[in-house]
Structure formats: C-alpha cells, structure tokens
C-alpha cells in the first residue's frame, strides 16, 4: 500500500465516522465469491438505480442521492461498497413511506474500502442514500480550467474500473452484479454532461441532463464526464464529443467509426447498445480508452492526424460484446473481457484494412507479451489467465497477460479448429452469455460443448493455457513480410549509418515502432543523434512513436540530450501506458533526479490512478 493511497484511506476513515452519525462501526466476514466486493447479491439483489447528482466544482465533490429498487425476494440486509464516501443519511421505502434505516459501516479495508450494511424489512422496496463523494475520490479527476484546451471552464471525468465506482456512488461494485439506471445531473449551465447511457447531443440551457440505461450493467461501467465539449455526428449510430477546437479533428480521425461498427456486427452479431459514441477526454486520462457502454472515454493521444492509432477504437468497440455484453464474473477472470476483445479488435482491423496491416498490430502485441513474460518470469502466478487476486488491488495486478495471452489462446483455437467453426463458436458464445457474467470454468464448459467436443488433447492444452503460468509453445501464423523488410533495411543502416538506407518514407506507425524496438541496445549515442536529427523522433506528432523512442533513448544514454522533449511529453500526457516505461527507464538509467523533478511538475495533472502508479514506482526505485 503506497503512502498516497494510505493517506486517502486515513482521511476516508474520519469522513466515514462523521458520516455514520448514530450508526456503529463493525467488522464483518466476507463470504461472497467476488474477492473485491462486499456486496452479496445472494442475500439482496438490486435491479435499478435512480441517481440525482449535483456537480460541485468549487468544493470538488459530487453531491448525490442514490435510490436502489430491490428485487422483491430479498433478504434482511443490503450490502453496498464504498470508498471514502460521506454518508449523510439512509432511508428505506415501503409503499411510498420512508423511514430512517439502521445501518453500519465496516472497518476500512486498505484495498476495498468499507461495506455499508443496511437493514431491510420484509416489505422494503427501495433504499435511498444521501451522500457526498470524498475530497480525494479515487475515480474522479477534477481538472481546473487551466488544464483544459480552451482554459475557460473546469472539467470532471470518472474512471470506475476496476473497483472505483464505489468512490463516487455507493453501489454493489462487482462486475458480476448488474442493474439498470436513471440519472439526473445538475452541472454549471455553461457545461455539457454525458454518461454511459442515452445522451443529449446538444447542451441544455440550464445545465440539467437526464440519462437512461435500460440494459443492466455492472457498476464499473458507470461513467460521467462534465465539461466544455460538443457533439458531432460521424454516422447514423456514431459520433464524437470533444472540446471546441478538437471536435473537427477528432471527427476526421474517427471517420471510419461507423464502418467499424458495421464490420463488428458482420463478424459476431447485432450491436445491442443502440448508439456508439466516443468522447475525447483531456490528456490526463490514465488509459487509452474505457469501454463505457454507448460512450467510450478516449485519450486525445489517439488523434495522430493519419488514423494510424484507431485500432484503439476497434478495441473499445469490441468491448461492446466482450466485456459489456458478456462480462467477467470477477477480476480473477479479467482475460474473458480483454483477451476476447483483443482478438476481436484484430478481426475488425483485418476486415477493414487487410491481413498484413492487422498482423503487424498482432505481431507487436506478441512482442509485448513475450517482453512481459520475460520481465515477470514464466513461473509468476500473475502470468496465468485465471488469477487469484485475493487481497490485491486488481488495477495494480492486471497486466497485458489478460490481453495478449488471452488473445493468443483464442488465436490458437482459431488455427486448430478453423476460422469458420471458431467464428460460429464466438457468435454462439456472445448470444448464450449476453447480459450475463462468466468465469473461466463457464467458458471451458461452453467450449467443450460447442467447439472442442471430444478432443481431449486440445482440452488439456487449453486448460494449461488458462490455469498454468507462462506460455504454451505456439507461434501464430502472422504475415510479417513488412517487418522482415525492416530487418533487412536495419542491417544495412547499422553498417552505413546512412538513414536514407532505411527507405522509411512510407512506413506506418507500426513499422516505426518495430524498427525502434529492433535497434541494438548498445548505448550508441551517435546513432541516436543521427536518427533523432533526421526523423525528428522526439518531436513526432505520433505519441506511440515518441513513447517507444524516449524509452529507447533513455536506455541508451541519449536521455539527457532530449530531456526537454521527454519532460514535455510526461507533463502533457497522463496515459499510464506512456508514463510507466519512460519513468522506469529514467530510474534505471541514472536519471533518478530528473524523473523526480518532472514528476513534481507533472503530478497535479495526473489522474489519481496514474499518480498512484508513478509515485509507487518512484518510491520503489529509491
């Protein structure tokens, strides 16, 4: 547990004590299957949430009323998750009559927060909770106007995955628990609001917005963004929200979005969520994208000007089936969300742009997997697909193993069973498990019945893939011709040091990344200088190329020469994918002092998730 997070939990303890008023604090035994949620739907299950939220930028709080409609056949208590919320009152409702509820809050767990136990009567129909988010709610980033594009208005956005929805809404915060919701949100009248639900395409005059999500979703897919942004349609069912000045660029970059949606449907069945829109968030967003239903939250770093990074859109769109439609029952089965999605992404890219292009992306992912496996060690239990994350924060334990090892397993099954049979299997899988949660065991059972059948050897291999660490010996049949051509050009360049020998004018982003990864790690500063001066790598518009180059440059003693560019990149980007490898390289290559200085300059612009990860890394490397 790092110092920042421990501090937040200590503050949360005081706030919870204040918020409980006459209720008592008690310890309770967790007996539910999900190791990351106190909620237990086998006792009482919620079916609908009504939210009434007020966005208070001045105090950096969400002031909320959460009203849960219960399943009729419920038990004697409702247990909800919370992380640092200030609980002001709880009432239960029967036949339209409200009474004060008896409740208690558990002692705080440093990872999970604390469960709220609310006593119910046999005829209780609803539970109403008046609350406020804590001052340091982990899911929320409150950006001052100075950190936005136009610098006129502040910005707020949420990141609920994995277990942080509980820091802005008291909720059953497990991926295996679904409910519908309606929300009314009051924001400053000059700002726009979107949620993971039906959304307005125009600003209201009074700052009040209403939302409906009639399909049951888990709490980690609850999402909210409030800021100075507008909407532009791309297709009949697709569009983009972005800050003024960026909107037209985003719409142009994402012009293939409607085609992606149609392609995905042709592969694995009808899109069930009506619309698919995206919102481009400020650069402080910790991730590439977050697959909130009906509105993906997206990093601006994907806007490269040439559509070269839009595979990220294909990935988030694929989550509409794998993750949002069929969800991992707990974070121990995270690969069911991400492995399926990463495989699906590659199929969308292949259908739209051809196999050679898609296979370049897949080959880079395969490289990432082998690098991660080398760093983790082949016996590391976190290299399994089926995880045991008891006592761990899932956000800190999940790596690209779930993404790339999970994808590799599905690619293996495709090559063993044939594409036609495997595609039919996936269609059947999404149809059978839609609006449900699944486990690795559920996947295996379904695979045996509909794909593997009597092939016991194949079943044994798949079980090893899921339950054992490391990798099965399998190299997918990717088209790597364009990468082989780079290998040949690289040999000539290393002999002559003449950058013209690379013939790189038509290289894609993925070829540049492959080239940088293949450069020798021999600390040849002259070579770094030639490449940087010729191709302007440290000032490239493409964030993926810059990240790969900065990591390589630092590892090869060229970091100090381009330190101002590295500093600007780390200050202007909050995406954890970029921050972690560059900070790690700096700390491992005698730039510790510089890393700390940059972090102190940049940290106010990082989302709490990125801030936590980078700070932990810096402390560990002292």
Q: What is the pLDDT of residue 398?
A: 81
pTM, to two decimals: 0.92
Q: What is the DSSP letter of 437?
A: E
Distances (CA, A) of 440 to 332, 384, 434: 9, 12, 16
Residue 535 pLDDT grade (very low, low, confident, very high; cuts 50, 70, 90): very high
93, 291, 316, 511: the catalytic one is 316
Measured from the Cβ of residue 160, the count of other Cβ atoms closer than 10 Å reads 26
> Which of 103, 153, 98 lies closest to 124 in space, CA to CA?
98
Q: Flag whether pLDDT at 28 surpasses 80.
A: no
Tens digit of pLDDT for each residue in 458-468? 999 999 999 99
Q: What is the pLDDT of residue 614?
A: 96
Q: How many residues does the chain have?
A: 622
403, 514, 552, 578: the catalytic one is 403
Query: Residue 567 burial (CB < 10 Å; 0-12/13-18/19+)?
Result: middle
Q: What is the pLDDT of residue 242?
A: 98
> Which of 477, 565, 174, 106 lies closest to 331 in space, CA to CA?
174
Tens digit of pLDDT for each residue in 518-528? 999 999 999 99
62 touches 132 (CB < 8 A): yes
Q: What is the pLDDT of residue 290?
A: 97
Tens digit of pLDDT for each residue in 172-183? 999 999 999 999
Phi, psi dihedral angles at 528 (to 5 degrees): -60, -40
Q: Where are the beta strands (DSSP E) in 265-413?
A: 276-280, 289-290, 295-298, 326-328
Q: What is the pLDDT of residue 168?
A: 98
Phi, psi dihedral angles at 265 (to 5 degrees): -65, -40
Per-residue tokens: 108: 């705080």
Distance between CA atoms of 240 and 441, rounded to whole angstroms? 38
441 tagged catalytic = no
Degrees to nearest 5, angle at CA 373 with 609 and 161: 25
Q: How many CA atoms lie within 13 A of 372 on its CB side?
A: 21
Measured from the Cβ of residue 388, the count of other Cβ atoms closer than 10 Å reads 12
- What's the rounded mean pLDDT across residues 183-212? 97
Q: What is the pLDDT of residue 622?
A: 73
Distance between CA atoms of 474 and 82, rounded to whole angstroms? 43
Per-residue tokens: 416: 């063993």
Tens digit of pLDDT for each residue in 79-100? 999 999 999 999 999 999 999 9
Per-residue tokens: 590: 């005698």
Tens digit of pLDDT for each residue in 316-326? 999 999 999 99
- For the chain, give the mean pLDDT: 93
Q: What is the pLDDT of residue 30?
A: 40
> Which of 214, 175, 165, 178 lies closest to 47 in space, CA to CA?
178
> Which of 542, 605, 530, 544 lies closest to 578 in space, CA to CA?
544
316 tagged catalytic = yes
Tens digit of pLDDT for each residue in 145-178? 999 999 999 999 999 999 999 999 999 999 999 9
Q: At what angle do helices 440-447 and 456-467 cross, to 10 degrees?
A: 170
Distance between CA atoms of 31 and 286, rounded to whole angstroms? 32
Tens digit of pLDDT for each residue in 248-293? 999 999 999 999 999 999 999 999 999 999 999 999 999 999 999 9
- For residues 41-75, b (16+ Cβ closer than 10 Å) or e, as one string? beebbbebbbbbbebbbeebbbbbbbbbbbeeebb
Q: For residue 56, give the H/E element and its range.
A: strand 46-56
Q: What is the pLDDT of residue 518?
A: 97
Contacts of 240 (CB under 8 A, 6+ apart): 231, 232, 234, 247, 250, 251, 254, 257, 277, 278, 279, 280
Tens digit of pLDDT for each residue in 44-89? 999 999 999 999 999 999 999 999 999 999 999 999 999 999 999 9
Q: What is the pLDDT of residue 621?
A: 81
Contacts of 498 (CB under 8 A, 6+ apart): none
Q: Flag whether pLDDT at 27 surpasses 80.
A: no
Per-residue tokens: 524: 């040849």
Q: Flag whether pLDDT at 388 surpasses 60.
A: yes
Distances (CA, A) of 244 to 124, 255, 298, 428, 533: 47, 18, 16, 43, 34
């Amino acid at each position: 547990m790092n110092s920042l997070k421990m501090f937040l939990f200590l503050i949360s303890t005081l706030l919870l004590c204040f918020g409980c008023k006459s209720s008592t604090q008690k310890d309770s035994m967790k007996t539910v299957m999900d190791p990351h949620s106190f909620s237990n739907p086998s006792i009482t299950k919620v079916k609908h949430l009504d939210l009434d939220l007020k966005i208070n930028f001045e105090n950096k709080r969400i002031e909320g009323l959460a009203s849960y409609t219960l399943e009729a056949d419920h038990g004697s208590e409702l247990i909800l998750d919370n992380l640092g919320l200030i609980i002001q009152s709880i009432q239960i409702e029967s036949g339209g009559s409200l009474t004060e509820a008896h409740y208690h809050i558990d002692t705080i767990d440093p990872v999970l927060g604390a469960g709220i136990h609310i006593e119910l009567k046999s005829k209780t129909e609803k539970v109403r909770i008046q609350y406020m988010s804590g001052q340091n709610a982990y899911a929320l980033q409150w950006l001052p106007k100075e950190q936005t594009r136009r610098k006129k208005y502040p910005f707020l956005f949420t990141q609920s995955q994995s277990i942080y929805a509980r820091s802005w809404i008291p909720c059953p915060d497990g991926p295996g628990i679904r409910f519908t919701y309606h929300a009314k949100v009051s924001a400053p009248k000059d700002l726009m609001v979107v949620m993971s639900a039906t959304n307005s395409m125009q600003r209201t005059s009074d700052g009040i917005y209403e939302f409906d999500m009639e399909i049951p979703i888990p709490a980690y897919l609850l999402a909210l963004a409030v800021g100075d942004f507008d909407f532009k349609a791309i297709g009949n069912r697709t569009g983009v929200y972005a800050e003024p000045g960026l909107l037209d660029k985003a719409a142009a970059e994402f012009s293939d979005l409607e085609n992606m949606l149609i392609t995905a449907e042709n592969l694995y069945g009808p899109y069930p969520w009506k619309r698919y829109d995206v919102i481009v968030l400020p650069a402080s967003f910790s991730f590439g994208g977050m697959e909130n239903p009906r509105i993906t939250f997206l990093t601006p770093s994907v806007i490269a000007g040439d559509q070269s990074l839009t595979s990220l859109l294909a990935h988030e769109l694929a989550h509409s089936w794998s993750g949002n439609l069929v969800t991992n029952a707990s974070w121990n089965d995270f690969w069911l969300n991400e492995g399926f999605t990463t495989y699906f992404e590659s199929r969308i890219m292949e259908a739209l742009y051809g196999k050679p292009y898609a296979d370049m992306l897949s080959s880079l992912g395969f490289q990432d997997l082998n690098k991660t496996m080398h760093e983790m060690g082949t016996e590391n239990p976190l290299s399994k697909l089926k995880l045991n994350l008891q006592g761990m924060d899932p956000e800190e334990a999940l790596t690209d193993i779930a993404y790339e090892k999970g994808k590799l397993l599905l690619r293996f099954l495709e090559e063993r069973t044939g594409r036609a049979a495997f595609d039919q299997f996936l269609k059947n899988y999404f149809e059978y498990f839609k609006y449900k949660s699944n486990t690795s065991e559920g996947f295996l059972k379904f695979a045996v019945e509909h794909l593997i059948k009597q092939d016991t050897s194949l079943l044994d291999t798949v079980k090893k893939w899921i339950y054992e660490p490391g990798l099965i010996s399998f190299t997918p049949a990717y088209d790597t011709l364009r990468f082989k051509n780079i290998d040949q050009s690289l040999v000539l360049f290393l002999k002559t040091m003449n950058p013209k020998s690379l013939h790189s004018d038509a290289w894609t982003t993925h070829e540049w990344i492959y080239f940088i990864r293949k450069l020798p790690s021999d600390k040849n500063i002259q070579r770094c200088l030639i490449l940087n001066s010729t191709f302007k790598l440290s000032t490239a518009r493409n964030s993926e190329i810059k990240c790969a180059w900065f990591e390589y440059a630092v590892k090869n003693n060229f970091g100090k020469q381009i330190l101002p560019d590295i500093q600007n990149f780390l200050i202007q980007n909050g995406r954890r994918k970029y921050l972690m490898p560059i900070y790690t390289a700096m700390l491992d290559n005698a730039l510790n002092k510089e890393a700390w200085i940059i972090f102190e300059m940049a940290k106010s612009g990082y989302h709490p998730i990125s801030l936590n990860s980078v700070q932990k890394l810096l402390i560990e490397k002292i």
